Structure 1
Amino acid sequence: MCCHTNRHRSRMKRCGFYIHRLRHRLFLFLVSLVAVCLLELLYLKVTVWESNSGDPHDITDWLSGIHSHTYDVNCTAIYELDPVEIGRALELRQKALVAVDDEDIVSLTSNCTTFIKTRCYDRFQISEAERSFPLAYSLVVHKNAPMVERILHAIYAPHNIYCIHYDQKSFRPFIEAMKNLAYCLPNVFISSTLESVKYAHISRLNADLNCLSDLLRSEVRWKYVINLCGQDFPLKSNYELVRELRQLNGRNMLESIRPNELKKQRFSFHHKLKYVSHDYHRIPVRTPIAKDAPPHGLVMFSGSAYFVLSWEFVNYISSNKVVKDFLAWSADTYSPDEHFWATLVRMPGVPGHIPRSEPDVTDIKSKTRLVKWIYFEGHFYPPCTGTHIRSVCIYGVAELRWLLNNDHWFANKFDPKVDPILISCLEEKLMEQRHFA
């Protein structure tokens, strides 16, 4: 009985030993397997990092978890109007939408060194012609931080100066992203005075004026200032733009036409802010009360909110009493920025003025902004291949050649949610005009 018990205990001991050894080997095998997987993943990430780190088109790399803006299309073939490639791009654009939001830009810009190197802000080479002709920009924006960063990247040069005015009503992540951009880039700053911008209201004009005031105090003695919104995009590189601006010889470039009766209604009557929709947005609404004539006998002209103005012009109007009175008079008009600049540029004595006797400077003649209106499509320009909002085309990829072959310097409107491939191809074509160290 005793011998039998001892033999049983011995067998149990040997079984326990084998089970323990089996568990140990299984543990080592699992550890080895996990280690191999981690090494493979690390190798894959390093490979992606190395392949993307020098690509200026990527908004960031795998470290920040944001997808690339490049797509499997041939932008040169699209520019050459290859029907097969355009067809592929039109089919692909809905599948190519990248879910990049304000928080992603906050994350990317939270580390300035990574941001600057990833987006190659430190690698732009500037010609002496550009360096001797610095530009200033006023960016009045309120949403879509990824698009704002792409606009900034497309117009960026280290010797230029950039003022960002964000809407006080903007969401916190957007505001944080704008502040981070200004913190990371030494020649980018936030406007010292911020407005709560309302559609077609004096607050939109004031936002630009706030930036212009700050830019005048800048140490950079810029030659011209250009204003942009969050759906604009350049059609010329900085080098090409400087080459054309030099030819202005101090003249200003903006739309300035004699207003029709419909446009006159916008500044001939007092307007009052009213709620006009369920989302509590307020816009100026015309009242039956007629306004007095413009102060100082100013002759009214209409245009758009977009301008290219010389330093001398901006400096002159900053302390001019006629301008101050005209601004106060415009406060209760509809979309005052669409007559303010157009009228002032015709005022005798202002630097670079356009004589009132000269013909209208239409949106076709003015190079400040290329806008495609739905009611002129098929007459003055080809149909929109994207979509429309308030009768304005949001461009599609098939318009790449038309955009780049136009004489305009900037265009509106672009939206990565409508056609991300077009913006990517524009970036590629503009980058071809740039050089990197």
Structure 2
Amino acid sequence: MIELLRRYPLPAIVVAQLFGTSLWFSINGVWLSFSRELGLNESDLGQLTLAVQAGFIAGTLTLAMTGLADRFGASRIFLVASLLGALTNAGFVLAANQALPGLLLRFATGLCLAGIYPLGMKLVIAWTPRYAGSALAWLVGMLTLGTALPHLMRGATPGLPWEWSLLGASLLAVVGGGLVFLLGDGPHLPASSGPVPLRQGLAALRVPRFRAVAGGYFGHMWELYAFWTLTPLFVARELDRLGAPDALISWLAFAIIGIGAAGCVLGGALSRSKGSEWVARYALTTSGLICLGYPWLAGFSPVLLMVLLLVWGLSVVADSPQFSALAAAAAPRESVGSSLAVMNAVGFGLTLPAIWLTSGLWDELGVWVSLLLVPGPVFGLWSLARGKPPTGSV
């Protein structure tokens, strides 16, 4: 088993990433039955999602600034984070009807995810350094598919208690942690640099090219997680107009979010001939135009709008691995890791107000909340336009 995993390390890592990140939106996947049972609304969904995001931000900053990710083996951190994440996710079943304990458990789940997603990137570098660029597209694709997985699990268990889907996500996380632990740390781990001062990561923002790319990433993040949070609500509206059963919400939400994995892989393939910036720019333009146009098309055929949601799901995350590649190329060589850590932390920080605004105003504005996402792509494209890449860059 171990020999087989080490012969094909990339598939093992991306499957583990898929299973581990199923914890991220596990509540969103069961939201319909969960909210009806406990009498919750879309604002409550936003708060639970925000708690996970806040935990992830706190966890990534802690790992970056303490050097913990370099002091201990990446596979061991991944395993511990997966086990603890599975435990906190399962614990939510017991605390679902209590606001504060529920929020704290979702925050703790976000902390654990900081030991899964970033460490997955490190493991890719450790096992497949020559193919890190294309592998990164697969890794972000698995994050996307992992985000969508709870919707699939809920759709596949109609009529069963919502708790089963949460426990299923926890079980997957345990399996993912076990896969990585058996695989090990890899032969090409970068040398430890010790604790990273915050100023070292912030220093990259003085580099015009890095600042431009980071701005593009920030605009992308303003839109991404808010869209993923809203997806079941968009789908429910169109199914209601069609008179279709609510059981289809989970299946369609999975398809719309999950198709982003194909977008990441396709973007990675296109980047080899077109360049990472070309892919990032066109993906961000596409999703931004849909943000702007969706509410104006709200009276059209629900089937047409479902197709539009699929295109949105495909494009909204296709630029993510490309922004990471562009930022790594533009960051100072001596502080690539800390620069990316700071950029990711700021980007995920921007998901908090975006999710809070859109989920909190859904009851009042409906599909018009998508206009609140438009400033993200607009700012991102403007920032990219300001930073001209040096000759020969990606």
Normalised by the length of structure 2, the TM-score is 0.26
Q: Which has the higher strand share?
A: 1
Structure with the larger RCO, 1 or 2 (CA within 8 Å, 6+ apart):
2
Q: Which has the higher helix share?
A: 2
